[in-house]
């Protein structure tokens, strides 16, 4: 039996933990265990001590390991930070820019998922717009060609070079087109439905569209500045319905106004607006044209009752019914007249008619000076004489007519007035007598009137030959003709004609004056070479500026097109032009229709706008 010294036992007891360790109930001594030997009790206590010691050692080990790991992590972070600090500034900048671009792109994408807010202003300034985004890639246009062939048939979709060139501009236009300004293809629809389907394709594919009817416009109206497609309405040339008792007629846009009047004359009817030969109803609506009968009968705006229009997305609307008057909502008819195809494409027009006058006649009077002739017109208007029309041609213009052989007779090469009279035979006779007296009081050199239909046509022929006679005077094929017009209040007419005539003479260019002076409207026709273009531009610019300063308009009947668009703000004010731009964006938000005409929808290039 082993004996343990009491001092050893006491030492062991002193080193035991002060915390009591719970003893499992199975290990607790039963009432009878008190009789166990002391040695057994010792070994039990020693075992409990060793277990406790082992548990405490494990806790210390875990604590130590945890501290070590934390220290390692801190040292690693310090090393990474030190490494970042030693990186070059360029690397840090690149990383920062990458992060900015990444998050900005993400933010833009998320923002694009929400529709843009609608504009809250009543107008749209040019600065508010970004450039239009058209798709004129060859692949897109070739794919569209297949769509158009399905709609029209292959024979009515043209890509021939001569066709494209012929629809890009004209010799008589005052706008000199750029080499690349021509359509990719020309379309020839025959119905409103076909035009609608064409526009749906162009809207879906974002292809710009240029409308074309007679091609007689003068201010660059049908220049394909953005390429795309040209819609030629020449197959839409039918008179659809004539209502004789209601005095109106429904026509398609490619009906010629002269041919229309020939057919109406059979029934004793008459459509008064009469611009230049070759003009068609679609273009006449587009420019809000005038003509030699404007003094008595008014302009195109007074003779259109209703329009069928295809909008930019292919939607078809009709602006009105056929009654002579209506107060039903906005007057969309007059909104589209003069819009030059920038808001919609006219596919039908309902026109007012009047009864053809029982008697007509023409008189011609020559004067010493252009101012004397203009004074005569002012006195005729003030006297209230209801002449059907009053036209003026200056001495240069009359000389060109003689030298070109445009008519069958020789004319006095002096400023000349052409009067047209209409009404009953007695009324016509009275009007001629009154006008003759006024002419003699304003330095009239001669006065003659027609005696019969053939002589009447001969006397009036000089007025209709004005433009073509100047074109016949071209010195070489590269010469250009600039035809433009302005209009002023009647009291200012003599002054502006006299000042413009003097400016033309100083320029040294071959330039003449003609026009529908009964309503204060006159034209300048200028012949110039490429070297003389800047001189011609100066003459036109001063003429336009003069008209605005006399409270007139930059265009009496030719329309705005490309040439006159930057003058609108001087005549009407920036806010008015901004309101027009808002209308354009409302009807044609993708800016597909007759791009760049009337109002700009993209900032001009430096130096493109002439200084006022």
Q: Supply the pLDDT for residue 9.
A: 39
Q: Supply the pLDDT for residue 516.
A: 87
pLDDT in tens, 167-186: 998 888 888 888 889 999 99
pLDDT higher than 80, residue 22: no
Average pLDDT over every residue of 475-497: 92
- Reported residue count of the chain is 612
pLDDT higher than 60, residue 597: yes
180 CB-contact burial (10 Å; exposed 0-12 / middle 13-18 / buried 19+): exposed
Cα distance between the two ends of the chain: 131
Q: What are phi and psi of 249, to 5 degrees?
A: -145, 145
Average pLDDT of the chain is 87
pLDDT higher than 80, residue 531: yes
Average pLDDT over every residue of 482-499: 94
pLDDT band at 44 (very low <50, low <70, confident <90, very high): low
pLDDT higher than 80, residue 272: yes
Return d(Cα 584, Cα 598) in angstroms, integer.
10
pLDDT band at 36 (very low <50, low <70, confident <90, very high): very low
Q: Supply the pLDDT for residue 35.
A: 44
Q: Supply the pLDDT for residue 37.
A: 47
Q: Supply the pLDDT for residue 401.
A: 94
Measured CA distances, 178 to 136, 168, 175, 387, 453 (Å): 17, 9, 9, 43, 46
pLDDT band at 291 (very low <50, low <70, confident <90, very high): confident
Q: Supply the pLDDT for residue 518.
A: 86
Task: List the single range of 99-108, 291-300, 316-325, 528-537 with lowest mean pLDDT.
Answer: 99-108
Q: Supply the pLDDT for residue 13.
A: 40
pLDDT higher than 60, residue 17: no
Q: Which of 543, 564, 547, 515 is nearest to 290 (CA)?
A: 515
Average pLDDT over every residue of 243-247: 97
Q: Supply the pLDDT for residue 15.
A: 42
pLDDT higher than 90, residue 420: yes
Q: Supply the pLDDT for residue 91.
A: 65
pLDDT band at 292 (very low <50, low <70, confident <90, very high): confident
Measured CA distances, 503 to 392, 534, 542 (Å): 18, 14, 9
Average pLDDT over every residue of 447-463: 86
pLDDT higher than 50, residue 7: no
Helix (H) or strand (E) holding 363: strand 359-367
Spatial contact of 289 and 302, defined as CB atoms under 8 Å apart: no
Spatial contact of 376 and 419, defined as CB atoms under 8 Å apart: no
pLDDT band at 83 (very low <50, low <70, confident <90, very high): low
Angle at which helices 138-152 and 192-205 pack, to 10 degrees? 160
Burial pattern 75-95, b for ≥16 Cβ within 10 A else e, equals: eeeeeeeeeeeeeeeeeeeee
C-alpha angle with apex 426: 421 to 430, nearest 5 degrees? Answer: 60
pLDDT band at 460 (very low <50, low <70, confident <90, very high): confident
Return d(Cα 555, Cα 487) in angstroms, integer.
7
Q: Which of 557, 558, 560 is nearest to 577 (CA)?
A: 560
Q: Could you tell me which residue, 549 or 15, shows the higher pLDDT?
A: 549
DSSP 492: G
Q: Supply the pLDDT for residue 18.
A: 42
pLDDT in tens, 95-144: 667 767 776 777 666 566 556 677 889 999 999 999 999 999 999 999 99
pLDDT higher than 80, residue 451: yes
pLDDT band at 588 (very low <50, low <70, confident <90, very high): very high
Q: Supply the pLDDT for residue 459.
A: 84
C-alpha angle with apex 190: 185 to 191, nearest 5 degrees? Answer: 120
Residue 235 token pair: 């197959």
DSSP 300: G
Share of the chain above pLDDT 70, in %: 82
Helix (H) or strand (E) holding 546: helix 533-549
Return d(Cα 139, Cα 142) in angstroms, integer.
5
pLDDT band at 64 (very low <50, low <70, confident <90, very high): low
pLDDT higher than 80, residue 505: yes
How much is the pTM? 0.79
Q: Could you tell me which residue, 17 or 584, shows the higher pLDDT?
A: 584
Task: List the single range of 29-43, 79-93, 588-602 with lowest mean pLDDT.
Answer: 29-43
pLDDT band at 20 (very low <50, low <70, confident <90, very high): very low
Return d(Cα 353, Cα 361) in angstroms, integer.
21
Domains detected in the chain? 239-355 (3.30.465.10), 359-563 (3.40.462.10)
Q: Which of 351, 354, 356, 355 is nearest to 241 (CA)?
A: 351
Residue 428 token pair: 């016509």
Q: Supply the pLDDT for residue 42.
A: 46
Average pLDDT over every residue of 384-402: 93
Average pLDDT over every residue of 81-86: 54
Q: Supply the pLDDT for residue 407.
A: 87
């Amino acid at each position: 039996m082993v004996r343990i010294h009491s001092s050893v036992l006491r030492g062991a007891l002193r080193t035991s933990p002060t915390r009591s360790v719970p003893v499992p109930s199975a290990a607790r001594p039963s009432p009878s265990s008190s009789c166990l030997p002391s040695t057994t009790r010792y070994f039990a206590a020693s075992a409990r001590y060793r277990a406790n010691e082992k548990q405490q050692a494990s806790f210390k080990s875990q604590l130590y390991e945890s501290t070590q790991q934390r220290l390692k992590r801190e040292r690693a972070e310090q090393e990474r930070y030190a490494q970042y600090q030693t990186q070059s500034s360029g690397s840090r900048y690149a990383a920062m820019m990458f992060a900015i671009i990444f998050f900005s792109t993400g933010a833009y994408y998320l923002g694009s998922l929400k529709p843009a807010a609608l504009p809250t202003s009543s107008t749209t300034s040019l600065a508010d717009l970004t450039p239009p985004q058209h798709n004129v890639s060859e692949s897109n246009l070739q794919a569209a060609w297949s769509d158009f062939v399905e709609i029209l048939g292959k024979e009515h979709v043209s890509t021939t070079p001569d066709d494209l060139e012929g629809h890009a501009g004209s010799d008589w236009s005052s706008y000199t087109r750029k080499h690349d300004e021509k359509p990719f293809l020309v379309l020839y629809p025959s119905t409103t439905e076909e035009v609608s389907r064409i526009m749906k394709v162009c809207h879906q594919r974002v292809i710009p569209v240029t409308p074309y009817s007679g091609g007689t416009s003068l201010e660059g109206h049908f220049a394909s500045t953005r390429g795309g497609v040209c819609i030629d309405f020449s197959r839409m040339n039918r008179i659809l319905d004539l209502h004789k008792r209601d005095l109106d007629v429904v026509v398609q846009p490619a009906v010629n106004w002269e041919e229309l009047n020939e057919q109406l004359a059979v029934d004793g009817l008459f459509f008064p607006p009469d611009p230049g030969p070759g003009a068609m109803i679609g273009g006449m609506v587009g420019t809000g044209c005038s003509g030699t009968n404007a003094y008595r009968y008014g302009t195109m705006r007074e003779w259109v009752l209703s329009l069928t229009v295809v909008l930019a997305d292919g939607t078809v609307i009709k602006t009105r019914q056929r009654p002579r008057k209506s107060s039903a909502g906005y007057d969309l008819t007059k909104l589209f007249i003069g819009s030059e195809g920038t808001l919609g494409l006219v596919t039908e027009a309902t026109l007012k008619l009047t009864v053809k006058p029982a008697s007509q006649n023409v008189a011609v009077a020559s004067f010493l000076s252009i101012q004397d002739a203009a004074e005569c017109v002012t006195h005729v208007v003030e006297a209230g004489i209801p002449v059907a029309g009053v036209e003026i041609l200056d001495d240069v213009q009359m000389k060109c007519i003689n030298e070109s052989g445009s008519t069958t007779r020789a004319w006095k090469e002096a400023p000349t007035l052409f009067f047209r009279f209409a009404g009953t035979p007695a009324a016509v006779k009275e009007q001629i007598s009154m006008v003759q007296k006024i002419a003699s009081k304003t330095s009239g050199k001669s006065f003659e009137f027609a005696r019969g239909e053939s002589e009447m046509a001969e006397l009036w022929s000089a007025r209709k030959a004005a433009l073509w006679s100047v074109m016949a005077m071209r010195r070489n094929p590269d010469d250009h003709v600039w035809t433009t017009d302005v209009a002023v209040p009647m009291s200012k007419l003599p002054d502006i004609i006299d000042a413009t005539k003097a400016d033309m003479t100083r320029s040294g260019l071959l330039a003449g004056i003609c026009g529908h002076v009964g309503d204060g409207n006159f034209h300048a026709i200028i012949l110039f070479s490429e070297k003389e273009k800047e001189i011609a531009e100066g003459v036109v610019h001063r003429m336009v500026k003069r008209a605005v300063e006399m409270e007139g308009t930059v265009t009496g009947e030719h329309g705005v097109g490309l040439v006159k668009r930057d003058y609108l703000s001087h005549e009407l004010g920036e806010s008015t032009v901004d309101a027009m731009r808002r209308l354009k964006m409302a009807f044609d938000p993708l800016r597909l229709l007759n791009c760049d005409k009337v109002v700009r929808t993209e900032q001009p290039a430096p130096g493109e706008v002439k200084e006022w």
